[in-house]
Amino acid sequence: MMSSNNNIKIHEHFKVVPPSSSQTTTISLTYFDIFWLRFHPVERVFFYTLPNSQSHPSFFFQKIVPNLKSSLSLTLQHFLPLAGKVVWPSDSSKPFIQFNPNDNDDAVSLLIAESDLDFNHVIENSPQEASLSRSLIPYLESTGSFASVISIQITLFPKSGFSIGITTHHAVLDGKSSTMFIKAWAYLCNKMIKTEEESPTLLPELMPLFNREIIKDPNELQAKFTENLNEMATKMFPNEKPNQRSLKIFAFEPKLDSLRATFKLTREDLDKIKQRVLSKWEIMDTNESKPKPETLSSFILTCAYSLVCIAKAIHEVEKEKEKFGFVFTVDCRGRLEPPIPKNYFGNCVWGIIIDTQPLDFIKEDGDFLVAKSMHEKIKMVNQNGFDKFTPMPNEGIEVIGLAGSNRFGVYEIDFGWGRPEKVEIVSIDRGLTIGLAESKDGNGGVEVGVVLKKDVMDLFRNLFLEGLGRN
């Protein structure tokens, strides 16, 4: 059966369920989850190379796919909610996640496909059509009354390798949780191959904690989050009928006419940016009550540098765009009182908006101004907690978002055939968003994924490389 994309041939469509579970599992959504209820899903793709013999279709479909499928089923017994749905029955005031083993529709959709695209071209970092990666990502079903939690697509590139595309509902998993699930799946798959155990034990740190009782809401943030979500939806989708009970995901359409690329910052690059930013700090900020920090994180340095390059490139092409903002999330697991375990599974992130003065992003010292603002906002959150809700950005500001993290360790994920050749956050094409991952070589660098129009991409590339002395 051929899919609508000419590069893809669908071989099989499985519904994968946990090995055996007789009980219905129901999990509530916290205020951290509710905010993302109708946000677009997160779409990631992992690329793996294979020796010629293993990437032959007969070997791949008869040996590798069964291992991936059986280990996925085994993983789901620890992650039962992922095989269920987000539902909102008429007799419930709030939506929740439910897995019912007696419901034939409660399962993880697994597509097995084959692509005739050039594997080496698809995994290139240099700019290429943003639409290329889209054929490797599965659809996640959502209607007014229910939404699937996760869907997966395994795609063979004959004689080269394969990809695992995974689409996740943001109201059920944040980036840390979805990465934890993929790590658990990879660990069990690897273990089954290496030891031939039928049911290996999962590492304690990969065992998810679904207990929602540990998330407290002393400041009644649930109501504020819901109000904020409705305000955002009204601004972004004015034609949507205001149906607060709907679970239909909003239509954040991907920018298929743009280019996708990955840029690398090495440890040396980050040190160079840090020295530049901190030296400007000494000159431009003489406020002794707020001394210059001794160092800055790779996260702050990467974001500040990339954002300024994007803003300047967009401004150069579209002169009227000169006000920029940045929205990113911080992990709250260790920041809540009391802190909650690292293996808490669900959303536990807080949005922060960097809304510097107009034109700051495109100034000569933009990287310093953005880095300073990020440093101070994060410091404020660390000191004061989350008693203040993040406001919506002001009108007329071009907002840049963030996906992923350089701390997730995505390049460690080995299903048994080696580490990924490349990891890509495909869904950054659904908005103006940068995608982060740690550097593949493990030397402390960071990868930055962007999707931009061709003329903006050309300028961004030049600015990015020039600022590092590479052009």
- Supply the DSSP string of 372-430, one letter for each residue: HHHHHHHHHHHHHTT-SPPPPPPTT-EEEEEEE-TTS-GGG--SSS-S-SEEEEGGGGG
Q: At what angle do helices 175-195 and 65-76 cross, to 10 degrees?
A: 120
Say which of 285, 331, 414, 455 is annotated catalytic.
414
Structural domain of 450: 259-466
Where a domain ends, among 221, 251, 281?
221
Q: Answer yes or no: is 229 within a domain.
A: no
Determine the distance from the C-alpha atom of residue 469 to the mean position of all C-alpha atoms in its chain, rounded to a whole number. Answer: 30
Determine the distance from the C-alpha atom of residue 287 to the mean position of all C-alpha atoms in its chain, rounded to a whole number. Answer: 37
**Two tokens at 361?**
């992003």
418: left (phi over 0), alpha (psi -120 to 50) or beta: left
Q: Answer yes or no: is 332 within a domain.
A: yes
Phi, psi (degrees; rounded to nearest 5) at 412 = -90, -5
Is 11 tagged catalytic?
no
The structure tokens 């840090």 sit at: 274
What's 63's DSSP letter?
Answer: I
Contacts of 289 (CB under 8 A, 6+ apart): none
What's 377's domain CATH number?
3.30.559.10
Please report, in tens digits, the pLDDT of each residue of the chain (471 residues total): 333 456 899 999 999 999 987 789 999 999 899 889 999 999 999 999 999 999 999 999 999 999 999 999 999 999 999 999 999 999 998 899 999 999 989 999 999 999 999 999 999 999 999 999 999 999 999 998 999 999 999 999 999 999 999 999 999 999 999 999 999 999 999 999 999 888 899 999 999 999 999 998 766 777 666 666 667 667 767 777 655 688 999 889 999 999 999 999 999 999 999 999 999 998 887 666 677 899 999 999 999 999 999 999 999 999 999 999 999 999 999 988 889 999 999 999 988 989 888 899 999 999 999 999 999 999 988 887 665 555 566 678 899 999 999 999 999 999 999 999 999 999 999 999 999 999 999 999 999 999 999 999 999 999 999 999 986
Strands 108-115 and 8-16: antiparallel
Identify the helix (H) or strand (E) that includes residue 148.
strand 146-148
In terms of domains, do 194 and 279 share one? no
Q: Answer yes or no: is 113 within a domain.
A: yes
Say which of 170, 174, 269, 315 is annotated catalytic.
170
User: Do residues 299 and 405 make contact, with C-beta atoms less than 8 angstroms apart?
Assistant: yes
The structure tokens 């080269």 sit at: 160
Phi, psi (degrees; rounded to nearest 5) at 337 = -115, 115
How far apart, in whole angstroms, are the C-alpha atoms of residue 85 and residue 31? Answer: 18
Contacts of 92 (CB under 8 A, 6+ apart): none
Is 13 tagged catalytic?
no
Q: How many residues does the chain have?
A: 471
Phi, psi (degrees; rounded to nearest 5) at 274 = -60, -45
The structure tokens 């065992």 sit at: 207
In terms of domains, do 204 and 281 share one? no
Instruction: Say how many domains are in the chain.
Output: 2
Q: Which amino acid is at 138?
A: P
pTM reported for the whole predicted model:
0.95
Tell me how crowded residue 399 is: count the other CB atoms within 10 A of its CB.
18
In terms of domains, do 56 and 113 share one? yes
In terms of domains, do 319 and 217 share one? no
Strands 398-404 and 161-168: unpaired
In terms of domains, do 297 and 167 share one? no
Q: What is the pLDDT of residue 288?
A: 62
How far apart, in whole angstroms, are the C-alpha atoms of residue 193 and residue 467? Answer: 46
In terms of domains, do 195 and 273 share one? no
